[in-house]
Chain A
Amino acid sequence: MIHVPAPDPFTVFGVPRSLDLDARTLERRYLALSRECHPDQLRSQETGDCLAVLARAAEVNDAWRILRDPWQRAKALLESASPGVLDRNKKLDPGFLAEALELAEEVAFARGDTIAPLRARLQQALDEDLVALRDHVGRGDLDAAARRFHASHYHKKALQDLDQKA
């Protein structure tokens, strides 16, 4: 078997490369594709190439997992639009990193009453990251979008750490 890199999830679903995809439309597309590709539906048809059927069904399920999550969708979009863009933009603004460090400390020392407001702030920061990322993509500035994607990791990580404490 020759290793073929998986097509990007937008291609698998046949939808535009966009961050603004309607959740309901995507879900309907997923169900329609599943009806087309699931091995159970093809079982009676003596499909010669079983592995190909499986691979295709797996592709659909995996594309769905990526597309329904806004962050994974953003990552896939950036990589398909400009391969390597995420690797090229790993260096973040020192000012931001200092802030992120402070946030991490706040999380480490958060106790009782301070946890809920901190969680709200982190969630808001994450929401803002997504809005900004979308703006950058809209303007065609993929480098800035990639940096914002990396930046959002710090907020996600902080939120995770906070949840683990709770």
Chain B
Amino acid sequence: MGIDLGTTNSLAAVRAGKGARVLRDLAGEALLPSVVCFHPDGRTIVGRDAKAMRLQVPDRTVFSVKRLVGRSARELEAEAKGLPYRVVAGERDLPRVQIGDHQHSPESISALILHQVKANAEQALGQSVREAVVTVPAWFDDAQRQATKDAAALAGLDCLRILNEPTAAALAYGIDGTKDGTALVYDLGGGTFDVSILRIEDGVFRVLSTAGDTHLGGDDFDELLAQRIHKTLPKTSDPYVLQAVRAAAEGLKIQLSSAESAALDLDLGSHGTTRFTVTRAEFEAAIAPLVQRTLDCVQRAVKDAGLRLDEIDDVVLVGGSTRVPLVRARLQALTGKVPHTGVDPDLAVALGASIQADVLAGNDRSLLLLDVIPLSLGLETLGGAVQKLILRNSTIPTSVTEEFSTGVDNQTAVDLAIYQGERELAKDCRLLGHFKLRGLPALPAGLPRIAVTFLVDADGVLRVTAREQRTGVQASIQIVPSFGLTRDEVRRMMLDSIEHAQTDYVAREAIDVRNKAEAMVRGTQKALALSDLPPDQTYAVQKAVKALAKHLVAGADTATLKAACDELGKLTATIADDVISSAVTKALREEHKP
């Protein structure tokens, strides 16, 4: 079974013959609203009936819980203010939904939705279902993926694979075998946006690149309309009014997909009344910046795939929010292609997930998905820079082995911090975890050779091993999701890495030059002690080393340090094939991997 656990709606599908079919409930509906109502009478209601309770018990009816999953309470503070239900900080700053005296984790609420999907599916199939592929936005990071896995487990499901939504949609789109070529999947859902570029060939679905924003979707369109409606009403934070206005805004948005203008007559009793009219042009002007953000992602994905826009054969639309005419028009203008609408944008993800579930069950060996890791992974090096080991959009599984060394004489333990993100400095990336390598042989700085291997498996889960080459000392960890950093940074990481490319570069260069200078001083001094140079050369080298060391202590700027390094480099380089040159080169190689 494949499950699309959406921000707004969820649904399940199963493989049927060459294709797949969605599972419908007794009323014949495929989409289950991702809404949970904790009714004051003690019932827990999920789906359409829960959505109907939005206005009756607004503070006990939870929607869009996917936006809370895998994030910290602090990051959600601003957003939580606009919600009719209460989000509070639990232990480890994890968000909790407060209903009466009870606190619910986003995972447990997601699990209630998954459980209902499972129950509906079992009803439709007439048999029990245990194994499922659950989809997530491609742009979800480790913590968000893990939280989704946890929710599936809570719902009594064995999660075969966490699958990226646009990849799943591409599978549904290309399953008939007639779509070989390069496809761009544009997936704008209720709360998240993804774009993936895939090459489809002989049953192999290869993701070339992916980009996105975990916090951009139809909810944000609704919110812009809701803000306008609120301006016509007395200011309030009453949950009933918030829910009513939100529902009205969604209704207006849907009307505007086919009409040129939409009117609203809202009677909120003691909270006032409003007559509100909005034209499509006004709506489009309001959402244009958001749509532009998605187009920026599209261009980045195309560039990362090593392609030009005119090399895209087909554009596939996924997610209910692609029904907004402006979205279609702008995407068509950018790509020059009429978007493909053969697969229902609401159903494509679940259909694709069920196909992958069938493949994983070993029933279909004609299909193969090759997916990528959305964000780069790296290690913190001296001075807070991040050395990227696995670049974003690498096909998984993938592994990289790099050699590192110690920075201090007789250092016997090394602490390695693993980061995910695109920025140059550790403080701007997301800390995934730490691990320690202990029992290193006591050696001068720079001598130990520590080989660190990053292996990302087909689920996108990272495994790290490290080993000192001379002694064979080994350590490894499983990455545990950390909630230490603000999620806003993760969401903005890609954009930031472009906007701040210049300042990042300068900061990174300053650290690099300083590290290089320190290594040069250490290496040259060590080599001088061992070497047998003529006195005049020894003197010249010593002088240059002292000058460099002095600059280091004085905290000289990058340019000065660079010049002093070059000076010393020239001196050691002229002593051809001499011990100094080789020792310095060696020290640098150990210290300063490219």
Contacts and interface: CB of A to CB of B under 8 A. Distances in A.
Interface of A: 1, 3, 6, 31, 34-35, 38-41, 43-45, 54-55, 57-59, 61-62, 64-65, 90-91, 164
B443 interface: no
Q: Max chain A CB contacts within 10 Å: which of B397, B451, B458, B467?
A: B397
Contacts of B467: 3
A61 B394 contact: yes
Nearest to A50: B457
Contacts of A90: 585
Nearest to B395: A61
Given A1-B465, A1-B474, A57 B394 contact: no
A64 B199 CA distance: 15
B305 to A, nearest CB: 13
Given A31-B201, A58-B398, A61-B398, A39 B457 contact: yes
B401 A43 contact: no
A62 B400 CA distance: 8
A59 B369 CA distance: 17
B399 interface: yes
A40 B474 contact: no
Contact of B362 (A39, A43, A59, A62): A43
B570 to A, nearest CB: 11
A57 B458 contact: yes
Interface residues of B, number: 35
A1 B399 CA distance: 15
B293 to A, nearest CB: 22
A39 B401 contact: no
B523 to A, nearest CB: 16
A31 B180 CA distance: 14
Contact of A39 (B395, B399, B458): B458
Contacts of B451: 3
Given A40-B369, A62-B398, 7 more contacts: A31-B201, A34-B370, A40-B368, A44-B361, A58-B397, A58-B456, A61-B394
Complex A-B, nearest 10 residue pairs according to Cβ-Cβ distance, in ascending order: A44-B362, A58-B399, A58-B397, A61-B395, A57-B397, A39-B458, A54-B397, A61-B398, A58-B398, A31-B204
B359 interface: yes
24 contacts: A1-B465, A3-B401, A3-B451, A31-B204, A34-B368, A38-B458, A39-B397, A39-B457, A39-B458, A40-B359, A40-B360, A40-B369, A43-B362, A44-B362, A55-B455, A58-B397, A58-B398, A61-B395, A61-B398, A62-B398, A64-B395, A65-B398, A164-B501, A164-B505
B412 interface: no
A1 B458 CA distance: 20
A134 B465 CA distance: 37
A117 to B, nearest CB: 22
A76 to B, nearest CB: 14
B227 interface: no
B503 interface: no
A41 B455 contact: no
B561 to A, nearest CB: 19
B365 interface: yes
A155 B74 CA distance: 46
B394 A65 contact: yes
Contacts of A55: 399, 455
Contacts of B394: 61, 65
A38 B370 CA distance: 9
A90 to B, nearest CB: 8
Interface of B: 201-202, 204, 206, 359-362, 365, 368-370, 394-401, 451, 453, 455-458, 465, 467, 469, 474, 501-502, 505, 573, 585
Given A61-B396, A65-B394, A6 B401 contact: yes
Contacts of A34: 204, 368, 370
Contacts of B469: 3
B182 to A, nearest CB: 13
A3 B398 CA distance: 16
B202 A31 contact: yes
A127 B147 CA distance: 48
Contacts of A91: 573
A62 B399 contact: yes
B110 to A, nearest CB: 25
Contact of A54 (B202, B368, B457, B505): B457
A6 B455 CA distance: 13
Nearest to A56: B397
A153 B368 CA distance: 37
A99 B397 CA distance: 42
Nearest to B366: A35
B458 A40 contact: yes
Contacts of B368: 34-35, 38, 40-41
A40 B371 CA distance: 11
A84 to B, nearest CB: 12
A6 B201 CA distance: 29
Contacts of B204: 31, 34-35
A166 B362 CA distance: 50
B563 to A, nearest CB: 14
A91 B572 CA distance: 13
B263 to A, nearest CB: 48
A38 B457 CA distance: 10
A54 B465 contact: no
A109 to B, nearest CB: 17
B397 A61 contact: yes
B12 to A, nearest CB: 21
Nearest to B501: A164
Contacts of A57: 397, 458
Contacts of B202: 31
Nearest to B160: A43
Nearest to A68: B306
A159 to B, nearest CB: 16
A53 to B, nearest CB: 9
A150 B111 CA distance: 55
B282 to A, nearest CB: 37
A12 B450 CA distance: 25
Contacts of B401: 3, 6
A1 to B, nearest CB: 7
A44 to B, nearest CB: 3
Nearest to B577: A91
A43 to B, nearest CB: 6
